Structure 1
Amino acid sequence: MNVLVWIRRDLRVTDHPALVRAAALGRVLPLYVADPADWAGPAAAARQWEFVAETLVGLRADLADLGAPLVVRVGRAEEVIARLSRSYRIDRVLCLHRPGHPVPAGVEEVGPDAPLPPPALTPVPGVEPGLIPAARALGLAPDPCPHRQPGGRAAALALAESFAGGRGAEYPAALLSPVGGDRAGSRLSPHLAHGALSAAEVRALLPGKLPPRAARAFLDTLRLPPGQAPLPEGGDSRHLAAFAGAQTGLPLVDACLRQFRATGWLNARGRGVLASVAVHLLGLSVQDAGHVLGRLATDHDPAILWPQMAGLAGASARIANPVKLGQDHDPQGRFTRRWLPELAAVPDSHLHAPWRWEGAGRLLGRRYPEPVVDPTHAARDARDRLGPVRRAWAAPHRTQDLVLVEGTAASRPRPASAQLAFDL
């Protein structure tokens, strides 16, 4: 029997039930399809594909070691699968179950199982592996991200080991700051989002290595995303270019955006602040704000982004106060000045509201933009729109900072929140 295994966001050989089942049935053709339509959306970016491409290189080598190298094709998945099925007499097509992502007729989904070792594979003979396409072949524009995390399972395992070996000891307290988390966060989210690691593997790694509280807090984040929620429409597009260009004139916001642009990663609290400012203070639509944040994120997954964005307009919405947050979490301006060197001369007391500084006339509108909104007035208007029972999001608050896309059941449900990305 010839079995095609369609690999989607499960770019690994370990803990892959579909590969295990296929190996037991007969000869195996592992397939990854790069569909240009999937990369044509406004939240797609070359940094995401380049991360995936690096991970595919490692996956191809791992599968070759097992006996059946990865086949890569460009096109619509249904058409590619149908063509290969005819050409190589494929009897069955398997893929891992992914909640919220239906599969075409004739594709069998395999549910999660206990963590499984990689199986030995017998290949379907005569299949040309194909090239892993460059970003431009998928229609993606150049997207400089000089400090992007490298893709690949080896990089994922190294991060997981360093997190379990000490970096995660202060988790999750160290992530309450929107400017923190570079060290204390695992930074595993891109690898988990694209499946180079499974949640089950991470669960097996952490117990006994991290302090119990830190391990429990981290493991609690490895849960399914909420279902797709309807997105509110409308919004003020006048400030979209300023937000996308990190030119809002609100220093903490612009610093977070510049870090996000340069690294492809920002901790969940920082992403939540950006989303709240974009929607509530700048008046952007949830869709426009989400597209900007999605393009910046190496770990972007629509199944996580959009339900979380929808929560911005719900009962749990919080209005971020970027001035107060900056004063609380970056009082000496180390983070802000790192990403906004043009503010080097602004004293600490006015760094997060430079328009109040007596030297503002020499800076604003010249080397750094004037604020596109008055944050105090914008927050008041947002509270009026949202209703009377809202609190400003300024002081640190206890939160679970997000979820993961993996085919295991959540231990308990959690409502959608204003958080945007992995608490990792």
Structure 2
Amino acid sequence: MALQVVWFKRDLRIHDHRPLVEAARRGPVLPLYVVEPELWQRPDGSARQWDFCLEALQDLNNALAGLGQPLVVRVGEVVAMLEAAHGRHGIDGLWSHQETGNLWTYARDRRVAAWARDRGIPWQEFASFGVIRGLKDRRGWARSWEQRMAEPLQAPPAALSPLVGIAPRTLPTSGDLGLAADPCPQRQRGGRQAGRELLEGFLRQRGRGYHRRLSSPLTAFEACSRLSPHLAWGTLSMGEVVQETRERRLALAELPANAAAGWPRALDAFVSRLHWHCHFIQKLERQPLIEIQELHPATRGLRHTDPERLAAWSEGRTGVPFVDACMRALHHSGWINFRMRAMLLSFASHHLWIDWRDSGLHLARQFVDYEPGIHWSQCQMQSGTTGINTIRIYNPVKQGLDHDPDGLFLGRWLPELAAVPAIWRHEPWRMDPGTQEACGCRIGLDYPAPIVDVATAAREARERLWGLRRQPGFGAAADAIQERHGSRRSGLPPFGKGRVPRRRIADGQLCLDLGLDPASRSVT
């Protein structure tokens, strides 16, 4: 029987893996993962991401070995690896999930498609998440997402025939791939088992207060599902997470009211987040240049990065405590909650006037759960370059006071401020010199002075961005962007001739940024 190659990419599991199931029905399966050094050396790759991926691959290899055929790992360029396998063994079919990755993976997949056509080898790709390839119109997308999430989960094959004469290879380390040292002491563990433990813990213990506790970094590390890296690397499927969440939601109806209290709203909010996860990836699927080019042409060339400001922001030494604490926590763990991601991007874009591509690349490397479709859509959204979202400029001092009123989070991540009284901790530059001396926190020496005046920088950014939106033709271009990428449930009217779009909000920004819970969409 002819050889079927299952090419694993960001779908590192055997459960609910349709390419594996379909390939196994047609012949012996070669389960292949190609480690691509060129991909990992791109500026959005990092050792912390590879280390998570490596653990997931080890788990996947054990699962495949249990079926009878371990994972076949090769290092190099995918087309060359496929050509070698075809020349030696003969490939009758290539199977994989679709990938909505960065521009490099997009170009690579086009090369693979051309190779498969030239060799007369059918390449069957199956949808990932709720993303629809080739979609031209977003009408009905939410309904299609629901239909996909309701599809039966695929059980793994009962067994795979062992392949003779294909030698196993050792998975490379991050050092082997030339990745810079990247200590991340609290990085999440990769692999399906770790993902399953997180899902079970969230649905049965941690998730009860999700909708109330996800915004503050004090509570979010425990209250959020923490499933994002497992969805990004495919150790769990979106379908199984949605279905198990909804099964848990139904089971709550059988519990006494006091036992179920808080759970329904929390789980509804979580499912809505999963919906928006796919909504944002769909944008990059439709328009891959979102990674490098502003959506609205009027915002192109708007910012020019100051390297010193970028370095201070990246290293958590801007002199604005809540920004610095969030950045240091992210560096230490590879994760931080959504609101703080938005604040970090907003501060870089608006207060420091850093180009979103530069700040976006730093954050991409920090995030173990880096998902290009979500990440680059959010970079543009938070920096005000989409043209269809309201301009949101976060006040980092207010954010800190709202979400860390006693300065506990600051005290943990900024030891320089540990002895500063809570009343001054969010704005230590307001202390008089005597108080600074007494606290052992001299501004400009022990802890940096603010890199910018927060209020002045915000005002200047607001004036620049709203000035752009008043230019002739801005609204017409924004309407075209909304038609292409916007949620059809947003109900937004067009800008209209001559009207300044002061309150235009699209794509769930009101819900995702502010933590509100509109009755029509339980997004928090």
Q: Is the TM value for this pair above 0.5?
A: yes
How much has 1:341 moved relative to structure 2? 1.3
2:192 pairs with one of 148, 153, 156: 153
Question: Separation in 2 of the partners of 1:174 and 1:50?
Answer: 29
Letter in 2 for 1:297: F
Letter in 1 for 2:125: E
Structure 1 residues 96-107: aligned runs within 5 Å: 96-99=97-100, 101=106, 102-103=109-110, 104-105=112-113, 106=116, 107=123
Q: Which residue of 2 aligns with 1:205?
A: 244
Q: Secondary structure at the match of 1:387?
A: helix
Question: Separation in 1 of the partners of 2:466 and 2:444?
Answer: 34
How much has 1:97 moved relative to structure 2? 2.2
Letter in 2 for 1:66: L
Question: Separation in 2 of the partners of 1:24 and 1:145?
Answer: 42
1:252 pairs with one of 322, 335, 352: 322
Q: Which residue of 1 aligns with 2:507?
A: 415
How much has 1:416 moved relative to structure 2? 7.3
Structure 1 residues 10-409: aligned runs within 5 Å: 10-99=11-100, 101=106, 102-103=109-110, 104-105=112-113, 106=116, 107-111=123-127, 114-119=152-157, 120-209=159-248, 211-223=263-275, 224=278, 225-228=281-284, 229=290, 230-231=293-294, 232-233=300-301, 234-237=303-306, 238-311=308-381, 312-313=383-384, 314=386, 315-358=389-432, 359-360=435-436, 362-387=441-466
| Residues 215, 337 of structure 2: 8 Å contact kept | no
Letter in 2 for 1:227: K
Identity %: 42
Question: Separation in 2 of the partners of 1:78 and 1:308?
Answer: 32
Question: Separation in 2 of the partners of 1:144 and 1:191?
Answer: 20
How much has 1:251 moved relative to structure 2? 0.3
Letter in 1 for 2:272: D
Unaligned runs of 5+ in 2: 117-122, 129-150, 250-262, 285-289, 295-299, 470-486, 491-505, 514-522
Task: Kindly name which structure, 1 or 2, has the bigger radius of gyration based on alpha carbons.
Answer: 2
How much has 1:226 moved relative to structure 2? 3.6
How much has 1:44 moved relative to structure 2? 1.2
Question: Separation in 1 of the partners of 2:508 and 2:246?
Answer: 27
Question: Separation in 1 of the partners of 2:391 and 2:228?
Answer: 24
Q: Which residue of 2 aligns with 1:405?
A: none
| Residues 175, 185 of structure 1: 8 Å contact kept | yes
C-alpha RMSD over aligned residues: 2.3
Question: Separation in 1 of the partners of 2:488 and 2:89?
Answer: 42
Q: Secondary structure at the match of 1:129?
A: coil
Q: Which residue of 2 aligns with 1:402?
A: none
| Residues 226, 307 of structure 1: 8 Å contact kept | no
How much has 1:36 moved relative to structure 2? 1.1
TM-score when normalising by structure 2: 0.73
Stretch moving more, 281-290 or 356-365: 356-365
The Cα offsets for residues 32-63 of structure 1, whole Å up to 9 and x where unpaired, read as 11111111122211000000001100000000
How much has 1:207 moved relative to structure 2? 2.4
How much has 1:139 moved relative to structure 2? 1.4
Number of paired residues?
Answer: 403
The Cα offsets for residues 135-178 of structure 1, whole Å up to 9 and x where unpaired, read as 01111011000111111111110010000012111122211235
Question: Separation in 2 of the partners of 1:301 and 1:73?
Answer: 24
How much has 1:344 moved relative to structure 2? 1.4
Question: Separation in 1 of the partners of 2:75 and 2:333?
Answer: 27
The Cα offsets for residues 162-218 of structure 1, whole Å up to 9 and x where unpaired, read as 000121111222112354311110001111100000011111222243522222211
The Cα offsets for residues 298-325 of structure 1, whole Å up to 9 and x where unpaired, read as 1112222112111122332310101111
The Cα offsets for residues 2-39 of structure 1, whole Å up to 9 and x where unpaired, read as 10000000000000000000100000001111111111
* Higher RCO (C-alpha 8 Å, min separation 6): 1
| Residues 179, 270 of structure 1: 8 Å contact kept | no
Q: Which residue of 2 aligns with 1:398?
A: none
Stretch moving more, 85-94 or 229-238: 229-238
Question: Separation in 2 of the partners of 1:253 and 1:67?
Answer: 50
Stretch moving more, 177-186 or 376-385: 177-186
| Residues 50, 174 of structure 2: 8 Å contact kept | yes
| Residues 351, 454 of structure 2: 8 Å contact kept | yes
Stretch moving more, 19-28 or 128-137: 128-137
Question: Separation in 2 of the partners of 1:236 and 1:126?
Answer: 53
Question: Structure 1 or 2: larger helix share?
Answer: 2
Question: Separation in 2 of the partners of 1:125 and 1:411?
Answer: 52
Letter in 2 for 1:336: L
Stretch moving more, 296-305 or 95-104: 95-104
Q: Secondary structure at the match of 1:182?
A: helix
Q: Secondary structure at the match of 1:137?
A: coil
TM-score when normalising by structure 1: 0.89
Letter in 1 for 2:176: A
Q: Secondary structure at the match of 1:30?
A: strand
Q: Which residue of 2 aligns with 1:397?
A: none
